[in-house]
């Protein structure tokens, strides 16, 4: 992965923000590098974030013209999409008059998988002269490092499960589904589709509680970016809640792809992993893809 760090001289950075802890972490890191940041928090997703610490404009999903106008006025050329956004209903999306010009193309974007949705939105913005940047380009510190982070180490059996999970995710990748799987003893216990990693881990915890998984402990969570995924806006991410979910699911650890996974609240994440004796492993980037 080549992470070109966008420099302050590139002008202010426009960040379209969903929920979760990542948007503010990335904004703070970009500002720490001397870059001005303008936030565009999304109504229905970014509520509760301390956006007032930055210049900001609330927007609705679909208000492309409002974003384009305000971001241009602010002198932004680089745009980052970051944070959790529930896939919107086209009927809940707000469109202004000029937005309707984009509507036929946007509607097409809503028909495919998430990758298709996001890459279509990226093209719309690029046609307007913006450059879409990955969060890792403006704040490379948020990416998972290679190797073990924290105290716990994966066993040989864990490594075999990780290889099995990675191979499955690679095979499933063309179908544009979730990026995560739980494997124990080379047996797939759960596959993430649209429910998300946290809910998948809750399911594994339930399957353990009700005896469908008989072993009380063991297994790994494997997350990997989809093959051909545009890493500018859809990297897999983990955070302390991922570790909590893995602990509740009785897992031995979590494996992600180094340099291609965003880590939210890294300190808390490692502290939680160390408390629970759960390993966190960054796989070499070439191992998947």
Q: Which spans of this chain sit near a second copy (rule: CB under 8 A)? A: 86-89, 91-92, 111-113, 164, 167-168, 171-172, 174-177, 182, 185-195, 203, 207, 211-215
Residue among 289, 168, 151, 284 nearest 221 (CA):
168
How far, in Å, CA of 162 to CA of 282, rounded?
11
CB contact at 8 A, 39 and 27: yes
As measured in angstroms, the least distance from the Cβ of 10 to a second copy is 35
Nearer to a second copy (CB atom), residue 119 or residue 149 = 119
**Structure tokens belonging to residue 157:** 């059996």
For residue 82, the cross-strand partners are 17
As measured in angstroms, the least distance from the Cβ of 165 to a second copy is 9
How far, in Å, CA of 198 to CA of 267, rounded?
19
How far, in Å, CA of 159 to CA of 155, rounded?
6
Nearer to a second copy (CB atom), residue 76 or residue 190 = 190
Residue among 136, 145, 140, 142 nearest 280 (CA):
145
Nearer to a second copy (CB atom), residue 4 or residue 185 = 185
As measured in angstroms, the least distance from the Cβ of 253 to a second copy is 19
As measured in angstroms, the least distance from the Cβ of 66 to a second copy is 22
**Structure tokens belonging to residue 13:** 């950075």
As measured in angstroms, the least distance from the Cβ of 231 to a second copy is 21
Backbone angles phi, psi at 133, to 5 degrees: -115, 150
As measured in angstroms, the least distance from the Cβ of 183 to a second copy is 9
Nearer to a second copy (CB atom), residue 182 or residue 235 = 182
**How far, in Å, are 10, 199, 207, 209 from residue 212 at the CA level?**
54, 17, 5, 8
Nearer to a second copy (CB atom), residue 33 or residue 93 = 93
Nearer to a second copy (CB atom), residue 16 or residue 204 = 204
Rg of the Cα trace of the chain? 19
């Amino acid at each position: 992965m080549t992470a070109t760090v966008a420099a302050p001289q590139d002008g202010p950075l426009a960040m379209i923000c969903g929920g979760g802890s990542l948007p503010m972490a990335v904004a703070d890191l970009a500002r720490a590098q001397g870059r001005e940041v303008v936030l565009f928090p999304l109504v229905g997703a970014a509520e509760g974030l301390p956006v007032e610490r930055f210049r900001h404009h609330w927007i609705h999903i679909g208000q492309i013209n409002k974003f384009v106008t305000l971001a241009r006025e602010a002198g932004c050329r680089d745009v980052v999409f970051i944070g959790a956004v529930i896939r919107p209903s086209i009927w809940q999306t707000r469109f202004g008059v000029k937005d309707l010009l984009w509507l036929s193309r946007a509607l097409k974007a809503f028909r495919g998988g998430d990758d298709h949705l996001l890459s279509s939105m990226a093209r719309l913005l690029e046609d307007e002269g913006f450059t879409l940047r990955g969060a890792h380009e403006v704040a490379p510190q948020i990416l998972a490092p290679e190797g073990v982070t924290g105290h716990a180490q994966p066993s040989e059996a864990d490594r075999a499960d990780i290889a099995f999970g990675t191979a499955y995710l690679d095979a499933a990748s063309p179908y544009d589904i979730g990026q995560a799987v739980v494997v124990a003893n080379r047996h797939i216990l759960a596959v993430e589709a649209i429910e998300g990693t946290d809910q998948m881990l809750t399911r594994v915890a339930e399957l353990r509680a009700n005896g469908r998984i008989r072993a009380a402990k063991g297994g790994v969570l494997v997350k990997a970016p989809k093959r051909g995924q545009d890493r500018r806006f859809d990297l897999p991410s983990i955070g302390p809640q991922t570790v909590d979910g893995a602990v509740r699911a009785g897992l031995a650890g979590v494996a992600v792809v180094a340099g291609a996974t965003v880590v939210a609240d890294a300190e808390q994440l490692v502290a939680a992993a160390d408390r629970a004796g759960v390993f966190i492993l960054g796989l070499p980037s070439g191992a998947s893809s």
